[in-house]
Structure 1
Amino acid sequence: MPVRRAIAVFGVVVTLLAGCRAAENERRPEPVRPRWEMAVLPVPPGSPGRLILRDVTACAGRWYAIGAVGAPDGGTRPAAWRSADGRDWTPLSLRPISYYGERAVLYAVGCHEGRIAVIGARAGGAHGNPRVRTWRQDADGGLTEVPAEFELYGGPEAVSASRIAGGAAGWLIAGARTGGAAVWRSPDATGFELVDGAAGLASDVRLTTLAVDAAAVPGGWLVGGGGRPAGQTDRDPFVWSSGDGRAWTRLALPATSADEIVQRLLRVGDVIYAVGVRGSGFQAWVFEPRAGSAGQWRAAGGFGTTGAGAVAGAEAVAGDGGAVLAMTVAADGHRLWRSAAGGSSWLPVALPTDVSAGGDSSAAVTMWDGRMVVTLDDGVAARVWFAPLGPV
C-alpha cells in the first residue's frame, strides 16, 4: 500500500475511533461523586458471624438497617440497627417466637408514624421454600415477631411477599400467590390478613399479574408490578389503587413492545414515582396531579443497561425534596442513580465500593434531610455508608 494511502486510511480509523469514544462518553456521563463515610455497625449481642444487610429506611428522623448475622456454618439470626445520624448505629432487641423467626433474614422494612414493621424469611421445610415472618416495633424500639399460621404467607399457593409499606390506613404487604398479585393488610402490624383473588388485582383470563411494591397515598394504597396479557410473551407495567386494601382498580402505565415491570414505588409530596425495568434498561414512570384533573402517568426517563446473564431490577428508591435516588442491579453489578429533573434524566452516582451482582449480594439506599445512606453487601462483608446529598 502506498505511504500516502496508508496514512489516509490510518487517519480515517483514528477519526472513527475518536467518534466512537465521543459517542460512548455521551452515553456514559461522569458520575456524581459524594463524600462517602463508612459508618460503625456493631455485631448484635449473641453468636458471632458476618453481618448481612438487606434494606434501609429513614423513619421519623432516625435511620434503620435490617438483615441478619450469618454464622460460619451457614446459619443465620435476624438483626436490625437504629441510628440518629447515619454514623453510629445501635442494634435493636429482637424477640422471635418461632423456629424460623429465630433464623430469619430480615429483608424489607416500612415506616409509619415513627415506627417500623419488617418482613423476614428463612428457607426450610421439605421443599426449602421461604418461611416468611413479619415483625412489629414495640414501644422500647425492639422488634417482636408477629404470630402467623404457615399458609398465611406459605403453603402450595405461595409465591412471594415482597415489600411492606405503612400509611394512614395501616400496613400493606405487596406480593403474589399462584393466582396472581396479592396483598396482606393490617391496621397495626400485629396481624395480617391475606387479600387473595381480588378482582382487578389478581390474574384473570386476560392478564397474569404480579405485585412487587406498595406505597401509601392519601386515601389508601398503591401497588406496583406487572402483568402478562394472554398470548403475549412480554410483561406490561401496572399500578393498582385501593382505598381499603380489599377492592382494587388496575391502571396500565405507558408501555412499549419490550418487557416492562414496575419494581419500586415512591411518593414525594404529590408526585408518585415508579421505577423498574423496560427491555434492556431501567425506566421511570411519573404521576403528577394537575389542576382541574386527576392527573396521569407518563413514561419519564430511561437509564442504565441491564446486560446479559443476570437478573436485573430496581432494588430501592428514595426521595428528598426535588431529588430521587434509585439503586439497581444488573450484569455489571449494583449501581446508584440520581435524578433532579422529575425522573426525566438520570446521572450515575459513584458508590464507595463496587459490589458485583449475583451470589448473596444486595444494596439499598434511603434519603432524608439532605443526607443519603446506603447499605452494600457483597456476600462476604456488609457495610453502611453515608454522605450529604450535595449538588448534581
Structure 2
Amino acid sequence: MRALTALAVCAALAAASCTTAYDEPPGPETVELAWAYVDLPQPPGPAGRVAVREAVSCADTWWLVGGVLGADGEGFPAGWRSDDGGVTWTSVRFAAREYWAERALLASVACHGDRVVMVGAKSGGAHGNPRVSTWRQRADGVFVDVSAPFPLYGGPSAVSVGRVEGGPSGWLISGNRTAGAAVWVAANDHDFVLVDDDPALVRDEEVDTLAIDHVHDGTGWTVVGSGQVDDGGQVVPMAWSSVNGMTWERQEVPADEGFGDLERVAATDDGVLALGLRGDAFGAWRRTDGTWRLGEEFGAVDPDGYAFRGASGLATDGDDAIAAVSDGSSYGLWAKLGPAAWAPVDVPVAPDAGGGQVLTVAGADGTVLLLADDGQTGRLWRAEWPE
C-alpha cells in the first residue's frame, strides 16, 4: 500500500523529482581520459600481426613486449622501448639461441634500474606444453634467451609460469607446480632458482594453493593467489610474504563466504593493493602495517559470460589505482581516485574476453598506457594519469 501511494504521488508530481524504493541508486560517473593512439613500428623480420602483452617503466624508459604472429600460427618475440614517456617507440633487437625461444611470444617484462628481464613461451613438443624462456639484455642492447634445463620451468611437475617482477634484491617469477604455489628467484637477471617445496607455499591437508601475481613493496616480496579448501569446495584469497624470495610466510587474508581470490597486486604509498573476484563482483583488498583488510567492491561479472573472468592488469600512482578487468564477456577499465568509489573508465577499445585477446594497463611517472589485443592486432594508447 505504501509503495502504491508513493507511485501515485510520483505520478501526480511528474514535473518534480521523485524517488521510490524501486529506484536504483545512480552508478559512479565514468572517468574520462584523453587517450592518444600510439604507433608501434613493425619489428624487423617476417610479416605478421603485432601482439602486445605487458609494459613497464624504469629509469625514465618504458619497455613493451609481445610478438609477431604469422598466418600459420608461427611467430617470433618482439619488444619496443620509449625514452620520451611512451610517446614514440623503437623496436628492440633479439638474438634467440634456442629453438623454442626463437618462436616465443613474450608475455611479461620487468625492470629494475637499467636492467630488464622478459619471460615468454611457445607451446610445442610431444605434449604441446608451453616451453618457457627468460631473456636478458646484453651490453650491446640485444636481448638473448637464457639457457636453462627443461625441468626448471617444465617437466612432469609443471603447471604454470607467470609474470616476472624486479626488486632491490633481484627478480622473482610466480607460478605453480603440481605441489602448489611456487616461485623462481634470481639475484641477477639470469640465474633463476625454483622454490617449489617451501611449506608455506605448497598445498597441505587444509588447502590447495595457487599463486597468481606478486610485487616487491620496497622491503620484501608479496605473492597473492587463492586456496581451495574443504576437499574441492570454497575458494579463498591467499597471500604470502618473503624478504628474500626463498623462505615464505602465509598471511591472513579476510574472505567472504563466497568465492574469493587475489589476481593482481601492486605497491601503494600506504602499503599493498590487491584485486580479484569476490563473489559475483570485483573486490579490492589492502594491506597496511602488515594487516590485510577488505576493500571496496565494484562492477559485476556477466552471468552469461563463459570466458576469462578477473583482473588482467593493475597500475598505481600513490594510493590511486587503475585496473583492467574482464567480466567474462569483455574487458574494461576501472579507477579508484582518492576517496571516490571505483568508477568505470572510458576506453577506446574493449576486446572480447576470448582466448588470445587482452586488455591491460601500466602506469608510471604520471603516464598511463593501455595495451589492447583483439585477436586481430595489438594496439597501444597513452594518457596522462587522471586527477
Residue 4 of structure 2 is matched in structure 1 by none
Secondary structure of 2:151's partner?
helix
Aligned pairs for 1:242-261 (under 5 A) are: 242-261=242-261
- CA distance in 2 between counterparts of 1:356 and 1:148 reads 36
What is the aligned partner in structure 2 of residue 359 from structure 1? 355
Is 1:298 the counterpart of 2:293 in the alignment? yes
Cα 1:20–1:57, aligned 2, differ >3 Å: closer, same or farther?
farther
**Residue 147 of structure 2 corresponds to which residue in structure 1?**
147
The amino acid of 1:54's aligned partner reads R
CA contact (8 A) 2:270 2:288 kept: yes
What is the CA-CA distance between 1:20 and the residue it aligns to? 9.4
Aligned to 1:48: 47
After TM superposition, the structure 1 stretch with the greater mean CA deviation from structure 2, 346-355 or 132-141, is 132-141
Q: 1:11: Cα distance to partner?
A: 5.9
How many residues align? The count is 375
Contact kept in structure 2, 1:38 and 1:87, CA below 8 Å: no
Match of 1:315 in 2: 312
Kept after mapping to 1: 8 A contact 2:270/2:319: no
Provide, for residues 295-349 of structure 1, a one-character-per-residue CA deviation record: whole Å limited to 9, x for no partner: 411111111112232221111111112321111112241111111237x821111
User: 1:285: how far off?
Assistant: 0.5
User: Greater shift after overlay, 100-109 or 219-228?
Assistant: 219-228
Deviates more, 1:300-309 or 1:145-154: 300-309
Question: Contact 1:57/1:365 (CA < 8 Å) preserved in 2?
Answer: no
Once the two structures are TM-superposed, the CA of residue 203 in structure 1 deviates from its matched residue by 0.6
CA contact (8 A) 1:75 1:103 kept: yes
Q: Deviations over 1:96-124 (max 9, x none)?
A: 11111011010111221232211100110
Query: What SS class does the counterpart of residue 102 from structure 1 fall into?
Result: helix
Check if 1:378 corresponds to 2:374. Answer: yes
The alignment partner of 2:200 has SS state of: coil
Q: Is the 1:237–1:252 contact (alpha carbons within 8 Å) kept by the matching residues of 2? A: no
The Cα offsets for residues 34-59 of structure 1, whole Å up to 9 and x where unpaired, read as 11111010111110110001111122
Question: C-alpha separation between the residues in 1 aligned to 2:32 and 2:322?
Answer: 14
1:345 to 331, 341, 346: 341
Give 2:313's aligned amino acid: A
The answer as to whether partners of 1:115 and 1:137 remain within 8 angstroms in 2 is yes
TM-score normalised per structure 1: 0.90
1:232 deviates by 5.3
Asked whether the equivalents of residues 77 and 102 of structure 2 are also in contact (C-alpha less than 8 Å), the reply is yes
> Which amino acid in the other structure matches residue 33 of structure 2?
P
Return the letter of the residue paired with 1:226. Answer: S
**Which moves more between the two structures, 164-173 or 304-313?**
304-313
* CA apart distance, 1:132: 0.8
In 1, distance between residues paired with 2:313 and 2:350? 17
- Aligned amino acid, residue 279 of structure 1: G
Task: Give the corresponding residue for 2:159.
Answer: 159
Other structure's SS at 1:141 match: coil
Q: In structure 1, what is the Cα distance between the partners aligned to 2:256 and 2:111?
A: 34
- Residue 367 of structure 1: how far off its partner (Å): 1.1
Distance in 1 separating the partners of 2:64 and 2:209:
30
Q: Distance in 2 between matches of 1:140 and 1:320?
A: 33
Partner of 1:75: 74
1:380 counterpart letter in structure 2: Q
Taking the TM superposition and a 5 Å limit, the aligned residue runs for 1:1-392 are: 23=24, 26=26, 28-84=27-83, 85-231=85-231, 233-289=233-289, 295-308=290-303, 309-341=306-338, 345-391=341-387
Name the SS for the 1:120 alignment partner.
strand
The TM-score with structure 2 as length reference comes to: 0.91
Distance in 2 between the 1:284 and 1:322 partners?
Answer: 13
Give the SS at the match of 1:152: helix
For the residues of structure 2 that align with 1:279 and 1:239, how far apart are their CA atoms?
A: 18
Residues 254 and 297 in structure 1, CA contact (< 8 A), matched pair in contact too:
yes
What are the ranges of 5 or more consecutive residues in structure 2 without an aligned counterpart?
A: 1-6
Q: Secondary structure at the match of 1:245?
A: coil
What is the distance in 2 between the residues matched to 1:90 and 1:20? 57
- 1:248-288 Cα deviation digits (max 9, x unpaired): 10013110111111111101234111111111111111112
What CA distance in whole angstroms lies between the structure 1 residues aligned with 2:327 and 2:68? Answer: 26
Displacement of 1:33 in angstroms is 1.4
Find the residue that maps to 1:210 and give its secondary structure: strand
**Contact 2:115–2:189 (Cα < 8 Å) also in 1:** no
**d(CA) in 2 for partners of 1:142 and 1:347?**
41
Equivalence for 1:4: none
User: C-alpha distance in 2, partners of 1:163/1:95?
Assistant: 22
Distance 1:201 1:164 in 2: 18
Assess if the C-alpha contact under 8 Å between 2:28 and 2:342 holds in 1. no
- For structure 1, which segment, 160-169 or 213-222, has the greater mean C-alpha deviation from structure 2 after superposition? 213-222
Q: 1:22 to 1:369 in 2, by over 3 A?
A: farther
Which residue identity lines up with residue 318 of structure 2 in the other structure?
G
Which sections of structure 1, spanning at least 5 residues, go unmatched? 1-6, 290-294
What is the one-letter code of the residue matched to 2:163? R
Equivalent pair of 1:225/1:239 in contact (CA under 8 Å) = yes
Among all aligned residue pairs of Structure 1 and Structure 2, give the percentage whose two residues are the same amino acid.
Answer: 39
* Higher mean C-alpha deviation, range 231-240 or range 173-182: 231-240
